Amino acid sequence: MTSASLFRLGLLTLFLSFLSPLSLQAQDASQTDAPISLEEGVPDDAAILERIDDIFAQLESLQGIEASVQSGVVTLSGTTTNADAIELAETLSSRVEGVVAVQNQITRDASVTNRVTPAMDAARGQIEAFIRYIPLYALALGLFALILMGGWLLSRAQFIWRTISPNRFVADLISTFVFTLAFIIAMISALSLIGATAFLGTLLGAAGVVGLAIGFAVKDTIENFTASVMLSIRQPFQPNDHVVINGEEGRVIRLTSRATILMTLDGNHLRIPNANVFKGVILNYSRNPDRRFSFMLGIDPEQDEMEAASLGQATLEKLDFVLGDPPAVGLIKELGASTTDLSFSGWVDQRNTDFNKARSAAISAVKTALEAAGFSLPDPSYRISIKGGAALPTQPVSAVVEEMDTSEETTAPDKAPDVPDTSPDTSLQERVDAERRAKGEDDLLGNGGASEL
C-alpha cells in the first residue's frame, strides 16, 4: 500500500470519529423529545383521582391534603403541620398507575394554634386513659404493698432465722435476702397485673447489665464480703484468740465485713483483708488450751546421754506448771560433732500458765539439774589446722570434765527446783478487750453480728 493510500485511510477514519458523537446526540435528543404514547388499559384521570383519594382517606396525617388530576398529572394542594406528610403524599401519588407527574403544592401550616391543639388532644387522651386505668393501678399498688409488707414481716421474724442459723450475721443476711426476694416478687406481680410486661423485661435487662458492671467495678469488695460470710459461718477463731495468719501473728480483735483486725504482740493494729484470710493459712494457738513447749540442750558426748535425758524428763515432771497428761518427754535428738543433743518437751495449760514463761522456766530448771548432777553443757569445739605447720594440740572435752568433776557419781536433785512466776500475762488480752468495748465496726465473731448489712 502506497503512502497516498495510507493518507486517505487516515482522513476517512478521522471523519468517522467526528460523525459518531453527533449521531449519538441526535439519537438521545430524539428519544427525550419523543411524545408519550397512549397505551391501552391505562386508567383515566377520574380513576387515578379516586384511587389517590381512597389512599389519603386511610392515613390520618394526609386528611388535609387535596389532589386533582389533569391528563395524568397530579396536583397536590392543602396544608399540613407535618413535614413528613408532604413527602409521603408525593411518594404515594407517584406510585399510582397512570400518573405521569406530580406537582407538589402542599404548604406547611406554621400557626401556633394548629400545632398546640393536636398536642393538647394527645395529652387529654392520655389523661383520660390514665383515669380509666386508675382502679387497675390501685389494685396493682395494693398487691405490691401487700406482698412487700408480708416479706418485711417475715424478714423481721428473727426467731426463725436465729433458729436456722445461730450466727447473728448469717441470720441477718438471710433476713435481708428474704425481704429483697419479696420486693422482686411484688414488683413482678404488680407490673404483670397492669400489663407492663415489656417494661418488666427492659427493667430486668437493665438491672442485669448494671449489676454486671457494678460486679466488675467492686470485685475486690464483693470477694471480701463473701469471704466474711464464710468466715462468720466457719468461725476459725474467736475474739482474743492468739493466731498466726499468713505469717502475721497477733490476737484477734474483731472480724468485720471487709477485714480481720489483729493486735500484734507488740500492741499494734493489723488489718488483713478477709479474702486473704479465707484463702490463707491460719494457725490458732488458743483453740486448744493445752500446748506443748520443747527445747534442746547439748551434753558432752563422753557422758551418759540416756541418764541425762531421764534426769531432764524427771525434772520437768516435778514442775508444777507442767501437765502430767500428756507426760513430759526427754529424748536423744542426735549426735553432734562436739555434743550429744537432747530434746525435752512438756505440756502446759494456757488458761493457767503463760507459754513463754513456762518454756523459759523449764529450760532453766533442766539446765540447772543437769549441771548439778555433773553433766557438762560444753560449747562446740573445732580443730584448727595451720597450713605448712602441724595441727595444734587439743584436749578432749572429757578430760576437762574429769578435771572439773569432783563427785563420784551423778545424782538427781531431791526436790523440784525453784521456778519463777509462770502465771498468764493478760496485759495484751486486756488491751484487746478494751478495743472491743470501744465503739467501732460491727463484729461478726461469736454471738455478735452485723446489725445492718
Supply the pTM of this predicted model.
0.55
Query: What is the Cβ-side half-sphere exposure of residue 116, based on CA atoms within 13 angstroms?
Result: 3
Q: C-alpha angle with apex 365: 331 to 290, nearest 5 degrees? A: 65
Q: In a 3-state reduction of DSSP, which class is residue 272?
A: strand
Please state the φ and ψ torsions of residue 223, each to the nearest 5 degrees: -65, -45
Question: Does an H or E element contain 255, and which?
Answer: strand 248-255
pLDDT of the chain, 453 residues: tens digit per residue: 555 555 555 555 555 555 555 454 544 444 445 444 445 555 688 888 888 888 888 887 787 788 888 888 888 888 777 778 888 888 888 888 888 888 888 887 666 565 666 677 778 888 887 788 788 888 888 888 998 898 888 888 877 777 776 667 777 778 888 888 888 888 888 888 887 777 777 777 777 777 777 766 667 778 888 888 888 888 899 999 999 999 999 999 988 888 899 999 998 999 999 999 999 999 999 999 999 999 999 998 888 999 999 999 999 999 999 998 899 999 998 887 788 999 999 999 999 999 999 999 999 999 999 999 999 887 666 556 666 555 555 555 444 444 544 444 445 455 555 667 788 888 888 899 888 888 666 778 865 443 333
Q: What is the DSSP letter of 62?
A: G
Question: What architecture does CATH give domain 239-286+430-437?
Answer: Roll (2.30)
Q: Amino acid letter at 138?
A: A
Q: In a 3-state reduction of DSSP, which class is residue 445?
A: coil
- Let me know: does 301 contact 309? Beta carbons within 8 Å: no
pLDDT attached to residue 319: 92
Q: Give the residue from 406, 326, 419 showing the smallest Cα distance to 369.
A: 419
Any residues with CB less than 8 A from the CB of 268 and at least 6 apart, and which?
none
Nearest-angstrom CA–CA distance, 404 and 394: 17
Joined together, the cell numbers standing for residue 360 give: 523459759
Nearest-angstrom CA–CA distance, 391 and 386: 6
pLDDT attached to residue 28: 47
- Let me know: does 321 contact 290? Beta carbons within 8 Å: no
The CATH number of 290-382+396-422, from 3.40.50.150, 3.40.190.10, 3.40.50.300, 3.30.70.100, is 3.30.70.100
pLDDT attached to residue 160: 78
pLDDT attached to residue 36: 46
Indicate the domain borders of the chain: 45-108, 131-217, 239-286+430-437, 290-382+396-422
pLDDT attached to residue 249: 93
Domain 45-108 - what CATH class? alpha beta
